[in-house]
Structure 1
Amino acid sequence: MTEPLLRRLHARGERITVGALPWVAPVYRAMPQVDAVIDFPFRHGGLQWRERRALARQLEGNFDVAYVLPNSLKSALLPFLASIPRRVGYLGEARVGLLTQRLKNPKNKPPMVAFYSALSGEEGLEQDRPELSLPPAQVDEVLRAQGLARGAYVVMAPGAEYGPAKRWPHFGALARQLDRPVVLLGSGKEADLCESIASQAPDRCRNLAGKTSLLEAFALIAGAGGVVSNDSGLMHVAAAFGVPQVALFGSSSPLHTPPLNERAKVVWLKQDPDYAPPLDCAPCFERECPLGHFRCLNDVSPERVRGLL
């Protein structure tokens, strides 16, 4: 979702270095407009002052502007410590003094692509669409290693880092109904979830969760005939590659994080006029269903999703 911002900056002549945590850094190495990527040596949680100060000393004097994408205090701390002259970001977490150019946070949750692209200071943000590409030979090499043919298999991404309220529970039932091979993708933490799905259709499912690099997962998505996912990072990867996809939304909202892909089909019972009783609780943006019924995803049938593939 940050790719359109980087494309805008590149188009106006800015040389781009992206600082990212190691698990997401490969995403930026796949973007041709990015000149360099710095793997941040930070852990989740805490300011880690010593590590940030040490990295700031290495970066000092090398950059003219920093675009601070996350809204956290610690994300704005590094550009400040590195004395980068112009530091652009949204207000939040008492970081007024850390930024030199501050945008107000919208009251309502906007589409995230436009939210990030606004840091460029340009207009026409509603036209922005993320784009990713891999050399065809790289995709073919990964598919050959897995014994797969382009367009002849379906990728399922059943995980969602945020929590259970974003995870559709019927991937296994859908896999049993398909007549194509199914490749299950996700992180190592999602390997057990994917294995439970694969066990429901062992004759056609291949569990690769935690067994691929991020770029290999990209290649498998780029070569797929279709992708079924929750509202997750891999959903946006599928959108950026422009592959046919079905995106399942429950506690979150496609008005906020839609798959920006003309070939995407979104399922969100909140917007279904034929669904009753109406989901007045959605979107709740909770990690687990606060009402305990989980209707927003439980009631999306595998038959419905199969009809969209």
Structure 2
Amino acid sequence: MADTAKRLLVVGPSWVGDMVMAQSLFIELKARHPGATLSVVAPGWSQPILARMPQVDEVLPLGVGHGEFGLKSRRELAARLKGRFDMAIVLPRSWKAALVPFLARIPTRVGFLGEYRYGLLTEARKLDKRVLDQTVKRFVSLGVSRDEARRGDFPITPPRLSVDHDNLVNLRLKLALSSRPAIGMMPGAEYGPAKQWPPEYFHGLAKRLVEEGFEVRIFGGPKDHAVGEVISAGLGHVHNLCGQTALADAVDLLADCRQVVTNDSGLMHVAAAVGVSIHAIYGSSSPRYTPPLTDSATVHYLGLSCSPCFKRVCPLGHTNCLNQLTEASVFEAVGAVQSGTPGVIVSG
């Protein structure tokens, strides 16, 4: 790709974690196209995350729900974008995701083949899953040349979200947080229960951590509030913040934690992008495909013969990939990191 494309558009993904990982692409685009402007078509919920990425010059909200076609909204947005961009990169592989750049007549439109998008893309690339074996690699590969993408020999800069320290001070006061060192917990996973470590295990871990002098902060959306109540039940110094904080607030509060214990979720990637040490718990998914993009990560993955199945609900009915991962092993790993041991793969 020549450096003549100074007005860049990216059609962003629809999930929190994927949007965070997309920052690696944004960083690469700005490095390869000095002085370029970068705009991102994205769901409205993602604006607080994109606002924490200095590479993004403009957010173009698309008022379409997840899974919704929304032809009228796409046409209206495309009409506003005509003549404004030199190149568009389409991260989602769906047919509808490529519509806005096509209708806006953006000259160069790059994306992976998927759902017969030949006419919508000017540069439709075949996805080689052996070379591009991680989501972040797939995103960044669309910002480099075809040859580099085929070889897989391009740099990947981990995401790094900016932190609002003034907002953090206000949140600590508003939420009555203590001066204890904080451990974050993210018990939710939008994908389904086969990615969720049992709430009672989180509860047992929280109890141990409080006894060791930590404060525990539980993060998630409104749907995670009930799980947060199970984890915090009967425990002091445990704050159930599920549904009480905006996404931008979670960025700042996570950056204030010493470590976090999390399912494979969008908030896991947010935590990685603010530099906190992570304990990432994997069940039906694989740490090889969507790892936390940080060197400060301990991955807890049993790697059973049935793993990874990538199912929302355990097809065998036992979810042993999570149920057999003990709270004692995670507690021991938290202590190891606290004492300065680097991240490792934990299997029990």
Above 0.5 in TM-score?
Answer: yes
- Residue-by-residue CA offset, 1:122-162 (whole Å, 9 max, x unaligned): 55435431212214333333223323367711110100010
Aligned to 1:197: 231
In structure 2, which of residues 31, 47, 58 is the aligned counterpart of residue 25 of structure 1?
47
Calculate the TM-score normalised by the size of structure 2: 0.82
Match of 2:22 in 1: 2
C-alpha distance in structure 2 between counterparts of 1:44 and 1:237, whole Å: 20
SS of aligned partner of 2:204: helix
- The Cα of 1:116 is off from its aligned counterpart by 0.5
Counterpart in the other structure of 1:287: 312
Distance 1:82 1:23 in 2: 23
Give the corresponding residue for 1:147: 176
1:93-116 CA-partner distances (Å, limit 9, x unpaired): 111111111221224571111110
Moved more, 168-177 or 102-111: 102-111
Does residue 177 of the first structure (1) align with residue 200 of the second (2)? no
Q: Does structure 2 conserve the Cα–Cα contact (< 8 Å) formed by 1:143 and 1:150?
A: no
Task: Label 1:25 to 1:101 Cα distance change in 2 as closer, same or farther (>3 A).
Answer: same
Following superposition, the deviation at residue 305 of structure 1 comes to: 0.7
Query: 2:319 aligned with 1:297, yes or no?
Result: no
User: Is residue 114 of structure 1 aligned with residue 143 of structure 2?
Assistant: no
Amino acid at match of 1:145: K
> In the alignment, what sits opposite 1:157?
186
Q: How many Å separate the matches in 2 of 1:138 and 1:211? A: 15
| CA distance in 1: counterparts of 2:182 and 2:73, whole angstroms | 44
Contact 2:28 2:157 in 1 (8 A): no
SS of 1:176's equivalent in the other structure is: helix
TM-score, normalising length from structure 1? 0.92
Indicate if the aligned counterparts of 1:242 and 1:262 stay in contact, CA closer than 8 A: no
Residues 1:54 and 2:79 are matched in the alignment: no
Of stretches 122-131 and 97-106 in structure 1, the one that deviates more from structure 2 is 122-131
Deviations 1:13-68 (Å, cap 9, x if unpaired)? 22111111112221111101111111211122232211211111111111111111
5 Å-filtered alignment, 1:63-78, equals 63-78=85-100
Give the partner amino acid of 2:111: G
Identity between Structure 1 and Structure 2 (%): 43
How far apart, CA to CA, are the structure 2 residues paired with 1:157 and 1:214? Answer: 13
SS at match of 2:111: strand
Alpha-carbon distance between aligned partners in 2 of 1:232 and 1:46, rounded to the nearest angstrom: 22
Structure-1 separation of matches of 2:179 and 2:56: 28
**Contact 1:150 1:225 (8 Å CA) reproduced:** no
My pick for the range that moved more, 188-197 or 34-43, is 188-197
Quick check: 1:222 aligned with 2:245?
Answer: no
- The aligned residue for residue 115 of structure 2 is 93
Whichever residue aligns with residue 143 of structure 1, its letter is: R
Indicate the residue corresponding to 1:43 in structure 2: 65
SS of equivalent residue, structure 1 residue 286: coil
Letter in 2 for 1:93: E
Q: Which amino acid aligns with 1:234?
A: L
**Contact 1:143 1:223 (C-alpha < 8 Å) held by counterparts:** no
Letter in 1 for 2:225: A
Aligned to 2:102: 80
Residue 267 of structure 1: aligned partner: 300
Aligned partner of 1:240 among 239, 254, 273: 273
**Letter of the 2:221 counterpart:** S
Cα gap change, 1:198/1:2 in structure 2, threshold over 3 Å: closer, same or farther? Answer: same
Taking only aligned residues, the RMSD between alpha carbons, in angstroms, comes to 1.7
Pair 63,150 (structure 1): closer, same or farther in 2 beyond 3 Å: farther
Deviations 1:163-188 (A, max 9, x none): 00000012112111112121111111
In structure 1, stretches of 5+ residues that fail to align are 271-278
Deviation at 1:231, TM superposition (A): 0.5
Counterpart amino acid of residue 203 in structure 1: G
Q: How many residues align?
A: 300
